[in-house]
Chain A
């Protein structure tokens, strides 16, 4: 039967939602049916279910646990798999989804409960790449360096990353327990390396992307860029950081050679 049509005539929306009581536990699906309302999105429907958490079978259950805050796709909280595809729940409009709508947590992050996952690894990755400008202090030191509107435009796009995790979820190289930093952090390293002040520590950031879990773990599947809700040019960022890593590698080899040759040379 065409469920989408059936529910359109009765004006309800049906959900199949992954339930899991805690980290690492077993899970199952619960089915909910709620009244249709125009303009509704997945988060507004989850809120509706909260007010009456009863399954299609009439069973009273705990309200679904999920993360959301801004409801306008800027806080990055609500990424989940919707009908098998990772996306932001708050901007997933019901009218554009096939029913029943299946909601599942992202699979590349440990589940906290139901649809909520633990994305700590992304914040750790930002530490690893030293994703900040090392300012001298917060006292008034006058304006920062001048920047062309063109550079600003490039950096602005990179800096709109909402740490949602979609790019990691879609990446075949990322698994639940490996160390790959993922596209988001690589792109952040590029952002800070581009900044006139950040550039002073560019090599440090680039080195942080060398070795296990670094940029060279990227398998070039290019899935990340397809799912990024902010349309960040992740493939370009990865290529840029790959080039910077190569430069550092060549420099290292060169210096080693120099060192070997340089015995007794000018100090």
Chain B
């Protein structure tokens, strides 16, 4: 390997930019590919904050408690070594962002301020108003621009990654990508490639995600042999504003700053919320969870809201929807801390949430599952070994994954404000891992036969020529909408096997219909329908992985809830005090404390399970009462 090697990072969200910075800082050259200018990546939407046990509030917080909260929050499916590494790195990451100029909120002494988030009892979340993701993304974007102006980074914005280029040994030696403006297809040789391509929200049609989050890259990598893990674990956020085009998030920070969730005690009460006295309001989360109150983990809050609306018929006006109320908090406080989300509500709903309680309902939000990656544990610290090429590596040598696109850090349920952290941390260890891989990898990609690249380019040229000729009866955007409705109906909060079976069948039908698509646009410039039609296939593949994985996991864990396979309620408040229940829990745990692994085959996803390893923390029942 030459002193400065060339790498490709796909995606310019937090994960991709951090990976890029790490590589550029070490003197390597990085090509960054992104379907949108990186500054417009979905990370910009994150509102609430980023976790780190900095412990400035005298609460005795510690990275070990952060580890425990995260592993418990994820019902013990998260990869433990990576979680420990992440939580220990978190304070340093927040400081780094601070030095990069992130406009974090401050205490009166000028120190970083921290707020509370779900699934913890500590003030652990650093925040910049209610647009933390935007501020973090901009900070990394600025650092990358600095490297760009020094010639160490080349950005390819409005370029879509289509697939890998592999050598005969199956190693990834580069990529094929499409210029979304000129529609040119070309190859990018690289020592190693990282997919930091974000989550698959749009597979669910309407979600809290940006509409560019189709998951296409992860879907394609899966088709090319990358393993996809824990696909069934989809986080449905308890509080979003239902909308025709998207479900706009009302950040957990709203509850972190004191927001309360309630419904009228009287079913179908038609009074305006302001006319309903406190005694006639049912604060159901506070009642059931006196310790965590409104800040129980997301899967728990979501299920409670679902039960209140769907099972008890107690939603506002008998419909889907509960109040999220901040009217008791002084407006200046709200504006100082969560103005961003207050404005979103005001703009899109038309009511001022400072004066009128907001109406919210759960919405698809985040994928805990993603591309399977490995870590090498440092046996002393039980964190990912520094500079190991195994960290963040998919099963395809030379292909890495980071950020929401990987499966590792959040298990069965992600804690709020842990994702921005995992994105940055995975980039911090992923970049050095790629560099180490290249160093160990004898011949450089540039030196390799042109044939692999020529073949790969030809494959994609042909595929796009074929798609461009598609003149059938189906509109790809319509198929995408139907996929979204199907997934939302059957693969979100409550899951039943008969419906999941039908879902898988229906996805296969949609795949059949895909073949009869009409590409709608024969233009040769910025032909979005052409690229979308190709993406849609990858979305259907991911949908099938998610539904099949959900079908086969016969238990309830974190965000994956199957009433037909749930454990009964324990007889004591602390379940460990109920020996009978503990026996049931243990049996279930032994059977299902496993990572779901999907491998592509012509007949559909092949699912297998890998035992989780628990070097950091022994699993225990998860309860929040």
Contacts and interface: CB of A to CB of B under 8 A. Distances in A.
B98 interface: yes
A40 B243 CA distance: 8
A135 B143 contact: yes
Nearest to A195: B101
A75 B40 contact: yes
Interface in B87-106: 92, 95-96, 98-101, 103-106
Contacts, number: 191
A49 B468 CA distance: 20
B377 to A, nearest CB: 21
Contacts of A143: 95, 98-99, 111-112
A225 to B, nearest CB: 18
B210 A71 contact: yes
Interface string A41-79: 101100100111100000000110101111111111100
A187 B249 CA distance: 29
B110 A148 contact: yes
B148 interface: yes
B89 to A, nearest CB: 8
A142 B112 CA distance: 12
Interface residues of B, number: 73
Contact of B523 (A62, A67, A69, A71): A62
Interface residues of A, number: 67
A137 interface: yes
Contact of A74 (B134, B245, B348): B134
A71 B211 contact: yes
Given A93-B350, A159-B103, 11 more contacts: A69-B210, A70-B42, A75-B41, A91-B348, A112-B526, A113-B526, A123-B145, A133-B99, A140-B92, A149-B110, A197-B101
A127 B148 contact: yes
Contact of B138 (A146, A149, A159): A159
A18 interface: no
Contact of A39 (B103, B244, B336): B244
Which of A118, A133, A198 has most B Cβ within 10 Å?
A: A133
A74 B528 contact: no
Interface stretch (B66-74, B220-228, B368-376, B473-481): B473-481
B135 interface: yes
Contacts of B134: 74, 160, 162
A23 interface: yes
A62 B522 contact: yes
A41 to B, nearest CB: 7
Contacts of A69: 36, 40-42, 210-212
Contacts of A127: 145, 148-149
Interface in A151-183: 152-153, 155-156, 159-160, 162-163
Contact of A77 (B36, B244, B347, B477): B36
Given A76-B39, A149-B106, A159-B135, A71 B478 contact: no
Interface string B333-363: 0001000100010011110000000000000
A140 B89 CA distance: 9
B148 to A, nearest CB: 7
B570 interface: no
B439 interface: no
Contacts of A126: 142, 145
Contact of B521 (A37, A62, A131): A62
Contacts of B428: 138
A192 interface: yes
Interface string B106-131: 11111110000000000000001101
Chain A: interface secondary structure? loop
The 5 closest A-B pairs by CB, nearest first: A146-B110, A44-B245, A132-B142, A140-B92, A144-B98
B537 to A, nearest CB: 18
Interface in B162-189: 181
A1 interface: no
Contacts of B25: 137-138
A113 B350 CA distance: 33
B235 interface: no
B508 interface: no
B324 interface: no
Given A77-B36, A112-B181, A156-B103, A142 B95 contact: yes
A22 interface: yes
B21 interface: yes
A258 B345 CA distance: 59
Contact of A138 (B96, B149, B477): B96
A155 B102 CA distance: 9
Interface centre among A91, A134, A135, by most chain B C-beta atoms within 10 angstroms, is A135
Contacts of A44: 243-245
B106 A152 contact: yes
Interface string B446-484: 000000000000000000000000000001011001000
B348 A39 contact: yes
A73 B44 contact: no
Contacts of B131: 74, 160
A198 B98 CA distance: 12
Contacts of B45: 70, 72, 74-75
A92 to B, nearest CB: 10
A194 to B, nearest CB: 10
Interface centre among B101, B249, B428, B520 (most CB of A within 10 A): B101
B620 to A, nearest CB: 32
Given A152-B106, A160-B134, A138 B40 contact: no
A163 B522 CA distance: 31
Contacts of A9: none
Contacts of A192: 101
A21 interface: yes
Contacts of B107: 149
A61 B28 CA distance: 46
Contacts of B148: 127
A141 B99 contact: yes
5 contacts: A63-B477, A75-B40, A133-B100, A133-B142, A162-B134
Contacts of A10: none
